[in-house]
Each structure stands twice: as C-alpha cells, then as structure tokens.
Amino acid sequence: MTLKEIKEILQADVITGEDSLDEEITFAGGSDLMSDVLAFGKPGILLLTGLSNSQSVRTANIIDAKAIVYVRGKKPDEEGIKFAREKGIPLLSTKLMMYATCGLLFSHGLPGVSNLP
C-alpha cells in the first residue's frame, strides 16, 4: 500500500514529504514508547505514534522507518519537522486515535511488524 493510500484511508494531512507519497509501505507498528519502537522496529516500518516531540523523528531515523503517522491530530515541533525534511522521512497527521488508525490500516491489509517472518 502506498503512503498516498494510507493518507486517504486515514484522512491524514501531510506535514512534510508530499513528493514521497508514492513510497510503498509493507508493514506498520504503533507505540508512544520510543524504547519499544527501538526494540521492535524494523527498517522500512511505518511508525504510528502519539508522541509528537522531536524524539519521535530521531527514533524513526535511527531505525530507518519509512514514514511516521501521528495520531490524535498531533504534530511534531518545528525542529522535528526540519529534521524529518533533512532525512527525507515523510510525516503525516490523522485526527483518528491510535486504535482506529491501526484498525483501519490493518483491515485494509497492512500487516503489523510482528507478523513478519
């Protein structure tokens, strides 16, 4: 599924990375706890999070996440957005809460990170 499809399913706004919406996303994982993201994250993951400080973007960069979707309408601060732009990490924001975000993407066929072999 492409980022563009994800944007439409979640009715999300694109904070940065408008030109990367054709990127293919193959799995996702959701957490507000960056320690957990560092423990379960795999390169290429779509990170769903409600943690909107710049640590979320730095963590995504460390694990080579493909993009971040912020839930509950959150958006990172300017520094986080600038960093994401530098590193080429698209950022999206949806008004949906975490459960609904995960559920919608899952029901559209996007598997979770733990389902990978």
The footprint of another protein (CB under 8 A) covers 32-39, 43, 51, 53-56, 58-59, 61-64, 79
Q: How far is the CB of 11 from another protein (least distance, A)?
A: 25
Query: 100 to each of 20, 42, 66, 87, 107, how far by Cα in Å?
Result: 24, 22, 21, 28, 10
CA geometry: angle at 67 spanning 93 and 74, to 5°?
A: 25
Nearer to another protein, 59 or 94 (CB): 59
- Residue 47 CB, nearest approach to another protein (Å): 11
- Helix, strand, coil percentages for the chain (3-state, nearest 5): 40, 20, 40
- Could you tell me the smallest distance in angstroms from the CB atom of residue 8 to another protein? 28
Name which of 7 and 51 has its Cβ closer to another protein: 51
For another protein, which is the closer residue by CB, 18 or 79? 79
**Nearest distance in Å: CB 70, another protein:** 13
Residue 43 or 117 with smaller CB distance to another protein? 43
Contact predicate 68/57, CB 8 Å: yes
Structure tokens that stand for 83 in this block: 């960093």
Structure tokens at 42: 């795999």
